[in-house]
Each structure stands twice: as structure tokens, then as C-alpha cells.
Chain A
Amino acid sequence: MSGARKFDEAEYYRHEKLLAVDYRPPQTGWMDTPVDFRPGTWIYPGKPKHLEYLDLANPRTWSPTDEDWKLPANWKEIILAGIKERLEKYRSFKIFMDICVRCGACSDKCHFYIGGGDPKNMPVLRAELLRSVYRNDFTTAGKILGRLAGGRELTVSVIKEWFYYFFQCTECRRCSVFCPFGIDTAEITMMGRELLNLLGLNVNWVIEPVANCFRTGNHLGFQPHGLNDTLNFFADDIEEVTGIRVDVPMNKKGADILFVTPSGDFLAEPGIYTCMGYMMLFHEIGLSYTWSTYASEGGNFGLFTSHEMIKRLNAKIYAEARRLGVKWIMGGECGHMWRVLHQYMDTMNGPADFLEVPTSPITGTRFEHARSTKMIHIVEFTADLIRHGKLRLDPSQNDLLKVTFHDSCNPARAMGILEEPRYVIRNVCNHFREMPENTIREKTFCCGGGAGLGTDENMEMRLRGGLPRGNAVRHVQKKHGVNRLAAMCAIDRATLSTVCDYWAPGVKVAGIHELVANALVMKGQKERTINLRLQPVGEAEEQPIPEAEE
């Protein structure tokens, strides 16, 4: 390895070093082990201008490695009042503070613990970081017995620890599947981050997208003309591949459907191919739909900030649907976006009584399961199209691909959309293989970069957190020659590319609608000799599986 590599590049980390995980807890008890902010394991703080734009607390320039974090003078009061308020507002928080028995069922379920061995990444201990303060200041036993009852005083070093470990949780909810009481670390991390935000403690990789989204409508900060140009460039590429010019309906009043997708689909490979896939599909079936520049983000980094911020960003979707006068809303392939759309949107910004129950204009299927929220997942829509034989598909167009499917955390564990994507993949690809049972569906492993952690300065944690997923991919790569990992999440498409390059080199990541579009036989198309990646379709030589450095 080159010595010139920096800690924010994957190549900086040697496999044998990352793999030598020491699971033995330190000699000192966890209450007495201070956090070590080593490069590669934490994320740069939010820049003051973004906090100011969003009216968030305590905007200033600071760094986690500073001794003084420039907290407000009354920081302790703020936190204790914040805990009290949240205990009163959220039964989840109160119950999860009270009933953990520390049975340890969750301990080896977290990808960061599996890949890193830091005991505070065991979900139980991550929650104890907050619970210890709760016990000390909010329970009778803790007030009397203190440490003996598992309480500990709230100090600045506790706050530092919270910052480090609540931004080392991807809110993937895998641990909550295994918890006998359903304690959900995502919920605890969300509370932890809300509390930290009260002191102005957040990370730029979350707060900049939030500020962008509030202003421009999307995390990446695409302004209206930029988004319009981007989608028209995609139309050019589609024309090159298929010979067909697809429309780019934008901010179009009176369209039947508003389509919202994560802005990651507009920016970089391989997400852009998924976006092209949506456009080709909608063109082919003649769907009356529109994009929106104002509601140009399905994702919601508010989820990684506070409940209030979720609502502030999410409000646009219904507002825009109302303004444009559409009948219902369809959402693209994204993970945490669907946590928000499925579990929060209707409650926060509904009722959507001005919309109609989603009904496919092609098949006539009424999507009764979305009769209140009025929003369906594009993979539900496409699965229904395929089931009714409304698409001409040539799966052999994807014959060079040996595909496996990564269930994204939130669609799997906060929604349960497990079979639809598999049904679609099986219809558009001839070669599909599952990863091992304990690593898919509700037991799926996170990419290691969700919940606002997918930035390069956090590379060591991303690679460590990506180990369990990368390892399972590597397994099917060796066993079945898998070379493509399908995922319906924009963060996955970005972060799993890094994870696969590192742990299972040779496997590339694709969205489902990229695979759909490649197999889609469009009316009047020219002979399809290249796929959306502009790579030749057809006979390939048997490719050797690259050796991972082990």
C-alpha cells in the first residue's frame, strides 16, 4: 500500500489490519473508558452557516478533537430538560430506557461491533451510554444508589462519548429484530442525536444536506435548472442506448402521478442508471407523471437530525402534490426515505385526503395497502406491471450479470418489502442468487454508511461496518460467481460500491430499475447492443474472480 494514502481513502486501510478485530473488552470499565477520536472514525461537525440557515442551536466552528467544544454555559440543564421532555413525549423512549435486561442478544448483531470490536458498538452498551444518565437523574434507585444502580453523572466527556457513538450507529434496526422486547437502537440514537443537536452538536455530512434540502428541495443542492438539465442529459444517454427520446415532465400540473426519488439518483454512478431506468419505464408504459424541482428529494436527512426536522423536510411532498394537482405519489428506490414515507409522513404531514387511492392506470390495480398515505413504492408498481404481463422483458440482456440482492435496512425492517424486489429481479435477470440466510431479509446487514455516516472521513468505520455485508457478498461471489449486487437504496448504491470494492472486489452495485430498464423491450427501440452503462450486452468470456487481499 502506498504510504501517501490518507485516512479518508479505502486503500489506506490494510485488510489484515482491519480483520484483526479484538473482541476483548478493555481492562477499564465502560464508564471509565474515555472516547478516542482517531482519524477515520468520526465525521466533521456541521458548519455554522448551515445551522444558522436552519435556526439550529449554537452555530460555531469547532472540532471533536478540540478540548473545548464551545458548549452553551447551561449545557447540562439543556440536556436534562431535553431528556425529560422526550420521556414525556415518546413512550418508546421511556420504555426502552427502563426495560433492557442486558441479556446481550443484540451484542453481536451490530455491523460496527462485528467489524470493529468496540464494546460501545454493542447496541446494548450504546443505549447504556444514555441510560446511565437517565438512571442517575430520573430514577429513584439511581438517585440514591448512583453507580451501584448503573447511574453516572452527566459530564462533558459523556457528551463527547454520545457524539462519537450516536454517529457510529446507522439506525439500521437490526438489533431490534433480535431484542426480546423490541428495543430499537435507532430510536435511542435518534433521541441521542436530538439531544446533541440541542447543544449544536451534529455532523456536516447530515446538516449540509438538510440545509440544502430545505432551500433547494434536495440534499445535493440541485437548483431547478440544474435538475432539469441533469434529467435531460439522462434522456440523451437513453437515446444513445435505445434510440428512443423519453420525455422529462417537470413541475407539470395535472399529471396523474408525482414521482419522488432520492437525489442521489441524479448525481453519480451507479444511481444515475437507476434513474434512467425509471424514465424508460414510465415512457414505455405512457405514464402521466411529473418530477418536481421543489420536492426533488425523497430521502430525508431530517431523520438523522430530529423529529422536527423530518417533518420540516417531508412537508414538501404533500404540499407539492397538492399544488400540482396529482392523483397520487410514487417513490423511487431509497432506504431511509421509505422509513419516513411509510412510518412518519402521514402522521406528520397528513392526512392526504386531497389525493386518491393509488391505482395503476396500466393494470387497474388499486394499491389498497397505501389507501391512507397515497404513496406507493416503484418496485410495488413494477412488480404489479410484470405480474399482469404489461412489460415486454428480455432478461437475457442482463445475462452477463450474476445478481444477488441486498435488502436495505429500512425497507426490510421498517416496511417489509421483501418479495416485490425479488419478484422483479427474477423477471429481469436469468441469474439470481441469494446471500446466506442470516444476512438477508429482516436480518440484512447495513452498508455501514447509512444515517448520515457515509462520508469519506469516516472511512475506517465504513469499511469495518461494511465487513459483514461485504463478507456475505464475497461468499456468493466465490460460490456462484456473483458480480452484481442489486439494492433499492441510494445510500447503498454509493456506499456499497466502496464496500464491495474493498471486501468483494469485482462486484458492482446496481439499482433494480437499472436491471429492469436493461431488460425492457421498448416499442420502436433500436437493437440494444449496449446497456445503460454503455457496456456491450452479450457473450462475455468467463471472468476470473479477483483475489481480495486477505
Chain B
Amino acid sequence: MNAFLSLAAVLAVLLAAYVGTALLDARFLFGAILPYAAIATFLIGFVSRIVDWAKSPVPFRIPTTCGQQKSLDWIRSDRLDNPHDTIGVVGRMALEVLCFRSLFRDTKMERHEEATVVYGPGLLLWIGALAFHYGFLVAFVRHLRFFTEPVPYAVALLQRVDGFFQVGVPPVMASNIFLLGGLAILLSRRFRSPQLRYISLASDYFPLFLLIGIAGTGVLLRHFVRTDIVSVKELAMGLVGFAPVIPSGVHWFFFLHLSLVATLIAYLPFSKLMHMGGVFLSPTRNLANNNRMARHVNPWNPPVKVHTYEEYEDEFRDKLKAAGLPVEKE
């Protein structure tokens, strides 16, 4: 049900874009107003979300330690999985953000005969996540060629490297294969595993369908619909220069792609996709395990009611004395 609703929502976006551009010719709405609105929503939403997170203090230093602590000189500490200083934290965060370190640890629990439980490697999620995120990143960077003039050397180079295998004309982009392959893994996990199906909300399926829609329409645009690429660039440069134009050479199918992208951009700050910002602020990962070396200050550390030694001695003085233990007041 959740999956169906999400798919329906993505199809509704596609349908609206089709009706709006192919039938009603509202191309300025879909080619200029919608992208600007989406970007404005994204900027405001993203910044306010980060500010909102940052407004809450970090009262305690609570890293999850995943390796040996720094203690005695002759015991080698695990600086990346249990960092005790900033360099270590930067390393840990880099591994987490760039390599998905924690997902790489994943194990898969299996029940065997004779009552044994075994924890085998479970790398499918790590592979799927890595393929998707890097595929998306490369595709994103490649798209900068539409928004820049002259196209930076790095972007052009990436475009060439990505199509290195020279399969087809125009060449198939390796990143697209990773992107769609990764999404297929992530989606099929949710369908195949009864546990994942049970926990999945509509807001888990929606981004997946949306991204599949974006990648799918993108691939179709590149290999099958063959819109006039010069016109698309003209449109993109118009958006960048705040002088939007909708050249007539742009195929209506392009607006399907663009509308899905705009939906993604606008949706992102209000969704779980904010994990891209949140991971940097996660207190179990971005703090050094130097708790006993340097005091962490809690800005709201309130006074609390304690049971003082004096109160304690008043209650137990006779018993302390009977046991021959020293007291403060006789």
C-alpha cells in the first residue's frame, strides 16, 4: 500500500508534466517557475533544518566507540574507529561519509540447525548504497556541463571517463548503470525482506521511485528521445543567469525529467533524505572519545537535588559509630 501510493505520487508528477507541457504547452511553468520554486524551497528548507538542528546543544559527549580506546602507551589505540582527537574524528567521518564504514560492518543473522545463530557477511546493502550514491554523485557532477560555459575541465573529463567503455552512441554512462543498479538493490530489498516491508513507510518508497524516475527519464532522454541538447543547455544557462528562456527545440519529454528533479529538490529538506546533512551532526560519530581527557561542558547543566554526606551521616551516624567508622560530627 505504502509502495503503491508512492509510485502513484511519482506517476502523478509525470502525468502533470506531460499534460502541462505536451498538451497545454505551459512550458514556462514547468521549465522555469517550477525549478526556481523548487530551489527556493530547498534552500530555505535545508538551511532552516540545519539551523534547527544546530540550535539544540550537545549536552553530553556520547561517541559510539568501535575500537580500542587511547589509554596506556603500549596499547595501540584504534584512531579511526575510536578517535581520541580531531584528526581521528575527521578520519572517522570521512570513512563514514565517503565509504559508509558502518554499513560495511553489516552482518546477516542466520538461524541454523542445532540451535545455532550465525552472523555472516551482509554486504548487499553496502554495495547497493555505495553504487547508488556514487552513481548519483557522478551523474550530478556531469550535469554541471549544462550549467557552465565554458565547461570546467574536470566536468568534461568526468563525462569522458564515465563513458569510457564506448558502448553505444552516445556512449552508455557507467554512472547510470551504478545509479539504477543501486536503486534496484535498495528497492528490491524493501520488497523481498518481510521485515523491511514491515518497517517501510510511504516516505521510504517515494524517494526510491522518484530517483528511479529521474534516472529512467534521464537515460531515455540520452539514448532514445534525443532532445536537442543545445536547446537544453540554453534553458539551463537561462536558469543560471536568472533570464529563463524556453527554446522551442526542447522535447516535452525533457520536462518530465526536470519536473521529477524539481520534486526531489523541493522534497529533500522535509524528508529522510536530510540524512545527507544529519550524518555530519550525529553525536555518536562526530565527537572524539576523549571524555576523560578533556571535560565536555553541558550548556544547560542544571543543579539537581542530591543526598549530601551530611544528610547521610545524620541518618546513619549511630551505625557508623557502632561499626567503628569515623564520623564528621560526634
Give me the interface of A with B, judged by CB distance under 8 Å.
15, 19, 21, 23-25, 29-30, 55, 87-96, 98-105, 107-109, 114, 119, 122, 124-125, 128, 139-141, 148-150, 173, 176-184, 187, 214-217, 223-225, 228-229, 250-253, 293-294, 307-308, 311-312, 315-316, 319-320, 323, 342-344, 346-348, 350-351, 365, 367-373, 375-376, 380, 383-384, 387, 412-420, 423, 436, 438-439, 441-443, 467-468, 471, 474-475, 548, 550
**Would B270 and A141 count as touching, CB distance under 8 A?**
yes
Say which residue of B68, B195, B282, B293 sits within 8 Å of A181 (CB atoms): B282
A-B contact pairs, 26 of them (CB 8 A): A29-B198, A87-B56, A89-B57, A91-B54, A91-B56, A102-B201, A104-B199, A109-B107, A109-B109, A114-B109, A128-B199, A149-B201, A182-B102, A215-B312, A225-B325, A253-B326, A294-B309, A323-B309, A342-B292, A346-B296, A348-B301, A372-B292, A415-B289, A418-B67, A420-B72, A442-B67
Contacts A101-B272, A107-B199, A181-B275 given: A224-B325 contact, CB under 8 Å?
yes
**Would A149 and B202 count as touching, CB distance under 8 A?**
yes
Q: Which residues in A have their C-beta under 8 angstroms from that of B72?
A: 365, 367, 369, 380, 383-384, 387, 420
**Would B69 and A369 count as touching, CB distance under 8 A?**
yes
**Would B297 and A105 count as touching, CB distance under 8 A?**
no
**Would B292 and A375 count as touching, CB distance under 8 A?**
yes
Q: How far is the CA of A101 from the CA of B109 in the complex (A)?
A: 21
The answer to whether the Cβ of B304 comes within 8 Å of any Cβ in the partner chain is yes
Contacts A343-B291, A369-B293 given: A414-B64 contact, CB under 8 Å?
yes
Residue of A nearest to B62 (CB): A343
Residue of B nearest to A225 (CB): B323
Contacts A182-B64, A415-B65 given: A30-B198 contact, CB under 8 Å?
yes
The residue in B107, B198, B289, B292 that gathers the most chain A C-beta atoms within 10 A of its C-beta is B292
How many A-B residue pairs lie within 8 Å, measured between CB atoms? 318
**Would A150 and B312 count as touching, CB distance under 8 A?**
no
Interface size, B (range): 35 or more
Q: How far is the CA of A107 from the CA of B61 in the complex (A)?
A: 26
Q: How far is the CA of A417 from the CA of B117 in the complex (A)?
A: 26
The 9 A-B residue pairs whose C-beta atoms are closest, nearest first, are A416-B69, A99-B278, A416-B65, A182-B284, A225-B323, A438-B119, A25-B198, A182-B285, A108-B109
**Would A442 and B81 count as touching, CB distance under 8 A?**
yes
Contacts A148-B5, A184-B284, A347-B301 given: A416-B289 contact, CB under 8 Å?
yes
The answer to whether the Cβ of B154 comes within 8 Å of any Cβ in the partner chain is no
The answer to whether the Cβ of B96 comes within 8 Å of any Cβ in the partner chain is yes
The residue in B129, B201, B281, B313 that gathers the most chain A C-beta atoms within 10 A of its C-beta is B201
- Digitize B294-324: 1 where CB-to-A-CB distance is under 8 Å, 0 elsewhere: 1111101110111111001101100110111
Q: Which residues in B have their C-beta under 8 angstroms from that of A109?
A: 107, 109
Contacts A180-B100, A367-B71, A384-B72 given: A107-B195 contact, CB under 8 Å?
yes
Q: Which residues in B have their C-beta under 8 angstroms from that of A443?
A: 105, 107, 119
**Would A94 and B52 count as touching, CB distance under 8 A?**
yes
**Would B105 and A419 count as touching, CB distance under 8 A?**
no
**Would A347 and B75 count as touching, CB distance under 8 A?**
no
A229 to chain B, nearest CB (A): 7
Q: Which residues in B have their C-beta under 8 angstroms from that of A187?
A: 62, 284
The answer to whether the Cβ of B188 comes within 8 Å of any Cβ in the partner chain is no
A66 to chain B, nearest CB (A): 29
Q: Which residues in A have their C-beta under 8 angstroms from that of B204?
A: 101-102
Residue of A nearest to B305 (CB): A312
Contacts A141-B270, A225-B319 given: A312-B304 contact, CB under 8 Å?
yes
Q: How far is the CA of A423 from the CA of B76 in the complex (A)?
A: 12
B169 to chain A, nearest CB (A): 38
**Would B270 and A91 count as touching, CB distance under 8 A?**
no
Q: How far is the CA of A458 from the CA of B289 in the complex (A)?
A: 34
A294 to chain B, nearest CB (A): 5
Say which residue of B56, B199, B302 sits within 8 Å of A90 (CB atoms): B56
B107 to chain A, nearest CB (A): 5
The answer to whether the Cβ of B249 comes within 8 Å of any Cβ in the partner chain is no
The answer to whether the Cβ of B108 comes within 8 Å of any Cβ in the partner chain is yes
Interface residues of B in 69-85 (CB under 8 A from A): 69-72, 74-78, 81-82, 84
Residue of B nearest to A410 (CB): B65
**Would A102 and B283 count as touching, CB distance under 8 A?**
no
Say which residue of A91, A370, A371 sits within 8 Å of B53 (CB atoms): A91
**Would B306 and A312 count as touching, CB distance under 8 A?**
yes
**Would A471 and B116 count as touching, CB distance under 8 A?**
yes
**Would A91 and B305 count as touching, CB distance under 8 A?**
no
Q: How far is the CA of A87 from the CA of B129 in the complex (A)?
A: 29
Q: Which residues in B have their C-beta under 8 angstroms from that of A383?
A: 72, 75
**Would B109 and A95 count as touching, CB distance under 8 A?**
no
**Would A223 and B319 count as touching, CB distance under 8 A?**
yes
Say which residue of A92, A99, A375, A416 sits within 8 Å of B284 (CB atoms): A92
Since A91-B57, A311-B304, A365-B72 are in contact, a sample of 18 more A-B pairs with Cβ atoms closer than 8 Å, ordered by chain A residue number, is: A89-B59, A90-B58, A91-B56, A91-B283, A102-B204, A122-B195, A149-B201, A178-B107, A184-B64, A293-B320, A315-B306, A347-B298, A369-B84, A370-B293, A372-B293, A383-B72, A415-B69, A550-B115
Q: Which residues in A have their C-beta under 8 angstroms from that of B301?
A: 347-348
A29 to chain B, nearest CB (A): 8
Q: How far is the CA of A128 from the CA of B195 in the complex (A)?
A: 14
Say which residue of A55, A107, A319, A416 sits within 8 Å of B308 (CB atoms): A319
The residue in A87, A96, A347, A436 that gathers the most chain B C-beta atoms within 10 A of its C-beta is A347
**Would A214 and B307 count as touching, CB distance under 8 A?**
yes
A263 to chain B, nearest CB (A): 15
The answer to whether the Cβ of B144 comes within 8 Å of any Cβ in the partner chain is no
The answer to whether the Cβ of B248 comes within 8 Å of any Cβ in the partner chain is no
Contacts A108-B109, A179-B102 given: A95-B53 contact, CB under 8 Å?
yes
Interface residues of B in 89-132 (CB under 8 A from A): 96, 100, 102-103, 105-109, 111, 114-117, 119, 125, 129
The residue in B66, B70, B194 that gathers the most chain A C-beta atoms within 10 A of its C-beta is B66
Q: How far is the CA of A351 from the CA of B62 in the complex (A)?
A: 18
The answer to whether the Cβ of B203 comes within 8 Å of any Cβ in the partner chain is yes
**Would B115 and A19 count as touching, CB distance under 8 A?**
yes
**Would A224 and B316 count as touching, CB distance under 8 A?**
yes
**Would A104 and B59 count as touching, CB distance under 8 A?**
no
Contacts A346-B296, A467-B117 given: A100-B272 contact, CB under 8 Å?
yes
